[in-house]
Structure 1
């Protein structure tokens, strides 16, 4: 991917959904019969690409119990009590984070039982790598002191060996297998809810990091009907029992680039917040604990080989330095035996990487698919979990760029908020919204405004083999663009995350318009 200079223009010419030309005001004279649209002096940017999100999870979240930002167990149980008052059957929620509480230990089933004891309650941690359930769920799932966690998972137990109600990584399956499966209509409704939300944030294309067979079928059906809300680059879930069936069906792409399916999401380790990220050295705040590898290197190589033989790239979740190292080793071995190095394989997150392993991304042509807002969300927790040595290659966006890697930026919604301007702000400042710490956390990895925007546009496009289709407003590319209420390049850096999207256009068609009477575009 060429790193071109960012151009400014005042006139954009569109025909049949694609860019014909950009230029200054005089360009209008060359198209006397064109329909003119006045942007009222607002800033126009290419449509933003989120290279790592969970579309259906986001749609589900919009109708489930939202626990993001809760500062205590009591705050959560208060919300649960109100939510349960009008809810029958299973109660599902997401977003708790014990790192925000005064007591940062894991909560228990008893905490939930005090509020709801006759309905099953399943609450996912903010990162999706742990669930917290009440005793009704333990009963329905038959979980006892004798229950053994599967490899790659952990059941948190008390001093007497009894399950406390917390299940980490692969142990979640002991619970989730008993939960009612969503219908295809549920999935389609969640797609629409997520699409509406993402369009309002200026996201015109999103990569969906791991879909099951039912979602795969809904996506292809909606693609064929031509009614997808935005562009989606979907990764097949490597954990799906139906993976081989989906791979056998081959890669999928529609004529208008609204749906692309040509990669597999593989899961190597857990998350830092639940101490499931796999580390070479022990956790600084849990002696003797190194996290969890969800797959052996042998299994990773098997999944990569399976994917490459069908022409699918492998996009592998790896957060800890051990996981990143093992995943790189696995890619290297499979490239030698099977090929596949040119498929634009990715490591999703690439959060904690040893300085010696960072150059291997370039050598192996692995794309670091990274979420800038993770650094600003994690920084205080990461300082507790990890030593300075372990942090030496952490969230190393600038180091990756300097060596010539293409960074594809995203948010990991609904783990984080989907707003890409939060991510751009994090990339440029490495500060929280209070502009702390001064100068930014581990500030040598800060990105320029230009590089941050490129990571949220062309970076994601390149990672999806779409850099000649989207990601910038160049001749013959799709006319995907947004209008925003601030000049991204000139506004004070502290204002970037406050940017509002006024309009979102995909292929020259207005897909979202902010409900305001003050700033509009007249057609």
Structure 2
């Protein structure tokens, strides 16, 4: 339901109250508390902000009452939305990727190699040539590339290129040599060294095997890390993202965040998930959750990888891959280790966010959480399954039974639509990317992009959620269109429901009195345009705590 609020909604304010800023003449939209299916979409034309927080929203009556303000801003009829939250992204990886060779739009292995060759020529002093974004499913021949392809253009320096999903990497021969990978190298548990018919490594490494190369790549300096973060921050706020749930950060990255925050160099909010692979995990848990006074930095969750990704056939499935018989995918973290981690984390009161893409991985997570809840509790922690892409239909209802949030990325569906049925077969699509099924049963969905796996633009995600189409309007009518979200549901998943998934719905996620004034101004009203054009929405201004940051 949408309606103009004629009487203002706000905190108790005297007739003579003076506010920092009164914003008038806007077309404002916000979901109102509580989060989840009870949230209501409301429209307003006036907003009162003081000390970085919303004091009231309303219509003309509010504007007429508070004429004595420090500043009045005429929004000239522009559309205002709550700042958008990306509930699953990788900030340092985004910043780093913006400095690397970008292979996202290549349509063949030769096109990818050509871009690497050009980039290497532009960076003669760079010791390692690194990049990201290749996807063999978008190439004319849908097969993995090889080291030989790269050796033709760069053979004097190591080359390492991550697949778009970051669950496979492509190395040249020099990178393999430096990593000590040859015919006799044994792949680590949860990883695969792709080999040719003679058993020689081809140059592609999947999941945990990627670490063999990444361990020999020089670590970026602290200055380089900070530069990557700040580049990512700038990129995100221009897209209207005011909060990010950073999915898997180590102790060093936590220190970088704290340093940036203390120096006032964080223009957006970060909800950090500690990587379960962090050697100091137990120590960090014992120190307890961390939240800065201004809520710019919060750390109270742990990110665990259960399996790999569908595109690289690393997602753990209950049955064989339809296009690779005998392959069930990979459990990146063993079931025993997952159980141990749950038993370690829950007593400290940290939220558990487990990456699970395949139906086997999702079932492993669900089974182990159910057992640990019975032994230790933890049902009230708003634990999350990150991605929840392929879920056995019998398991979907267990999200509610276990009080889980589904942290899902709408553009994954529109990116995967060209290969998902090949990987799974039609029968297993029933529980795949099942947004509306989960919403209908009352499950909260926290939406994001998984950037830089996908582009970070949240309006691409809103568009994909509502249409189940790519930005070329394909397929006609939408891919498994019965799982579409309404625009109200989609906006909810990027705002108040995303805030709920981080225990922040009382202070973030909507433009309600007492909450931080995180909002954006956009050049078109997404509720007034055709759904196919939502992705074209441009952000004109971004505000965090009432301060214009873009």
**TM-score (structure 1 length as normaliser):** 0.97
Name the SS of the counterpart of 2:87 in structure 1.
Answer: strand
Query: Is 1:148 matched up with 2:183?
Result: no
8 Å CA contact retained: 2:267, 2:544: no
Q: For residues 315-354 of structure 1, what are the alpha-carbon distances to aligned partners after superposition, in whole Å with 9 as ceiling and x for unaligned? A: 0000000000001111111111111111110000000001
Q: What is the CA–CA distance in structure 1 between the aligned matches of 2:283 and 2:211, rounded to whole Å?
A: 21
Name the SS of the counterpart of 2:393 in structure 1.
Answer: coil
The partner residue of 1:123 within 161, 178, 185 is 161
- Give the corresponding residue for 2:42: 7
- Give the corresponding residue for 1:33: 68
- Give the corresponding residue for 1:424: 462
Q: What is the CA–CA distance in structure 2 between the aligned matches of 1:306 and 1:38, rounded to whole Å?
A: 53
Q: What is the CA–CA distance in structure 2 between the aligned matches of 1:39 and 1:456, rounded to whole Å?
A: 23
Matches within 5 A, 1:78-477: 78-87=114-123, 88-477=126-515
Count of residues paired in the alignment: 512
Q: What is the CA–CA distance in structure 1 between the aligned matches of 2:266 and 2:196, rounded to whole Å?
A: 47
Query: Is 1:76 matched up with 2:109?
Result: no
Unaligned runs of at least 5 residues, structure 2: 1-34
- Give the corresponding residue for 2:29: none
Unaligned runs of at least 5 residues, structure 1: 513-523
8 Å CA contact retained: 2:95, 2:232: yes
Name the SS of the counterpart of 2:472 in structure 1.
Answer: coil
Q: For residues 83-129 of structure 1, what are the alpha-carbon distances to aligned partners after superposition, in whole Å with 9 as ceiling and x for unaligned? A: 11132201110000000111111110010000000101000000000
8 Å CA contact retained: 1:478, 1:508: yes
8 Å CA contact retained: 1:184, 1:214: no
Deviation at 1:183, TM superposition (A): 1.9
Q: For residues 195-235 of structure 1, what are the alpha-carbon distances to aligned partners after superposition, in whole Å with 9 as ceiling and x for unaligned? A: 11110000000100001121111112222333312000010
Deviation at 1:73, TM superposition (A): 1.1
8 Å CA contact retained: 1:275, 1:291: yes
Name the SS of the counterpart of 1:106 in structure 2.
Answer: coil
Deviation at 1:4, TM superposition (A): 2.3
Structure 1 stretch 203-212 or stretch 291-300: which is displaced more? 291-300
- Give the corresponding residue for 1:60: 96
Q: For residues 144-170 of structure 1, what are the alpha-carbon distances to aligned partners after superposition, in whole Å with 9 as ceiling and x for unaligned? A: 101000110000000000001110000
Q: For residues 357-408 of structure 1, what are the alpha-carbon distances to aligned partners after superposition, in whole Å with 9 as ceiling and x for unaligned? A: 0000100011100000000010111021111221110001111111111100
Q: What is the CA–CA distance in structure 2 between the aligned matches of 1:220 and 1:244, rounded to whole Å?
A: 19
Q: What is the CA–CA distance in structure 1 between the aligned matches of 2:392 and 2:180, rounded to whole Å?
A: 41
Name the SS of the counterpart of 2:40 in structure 1.
Answer: coil
Name the SS of the counterpart of 2:95 in structure 1.
Answer: helix
Q: For residues 470-497 of structure 1, what are the alpha-carbon distances to aligned partners after superposition, in whole Å with 9 as ceiling and x for unaligned? A: 1110010001100001111111111100
8 Å CA contact retained: 1:408, 1:460: yes
8 Å CA contact retained: 1:457, 1:471: yes
Q: What is the CA–CA distance in structure 1 between the aligned matches of 2:39 and 2:168, rounded to whole Å?
A: 42
Q: What is the CA–CA distance in structure 1 between the aligned matches of 2:498 and 2:226, rounded to whole Å?
A: 24
Q: What is the CA–CA distance in structure 2 between the aligned matches of 1:220 and 1:338, rounded to whole Å?
A: 32
Q: What is the CA–CA distance in structure 2 between the aligned matches of 1:142 and 1:66, rounded to whole Å?
A: 27
**TM-score (structure 2 length as normaliser):** 0.92
- Give the corresponding residue for 1:518: none
8 Å CA contact retained: 1:192, 1:229: no
8 Å CA contact retained: 1:345, 1:367: yes
Structure 1 stretch 33-42 or stretch 409-418: which is displaced more? 33-42
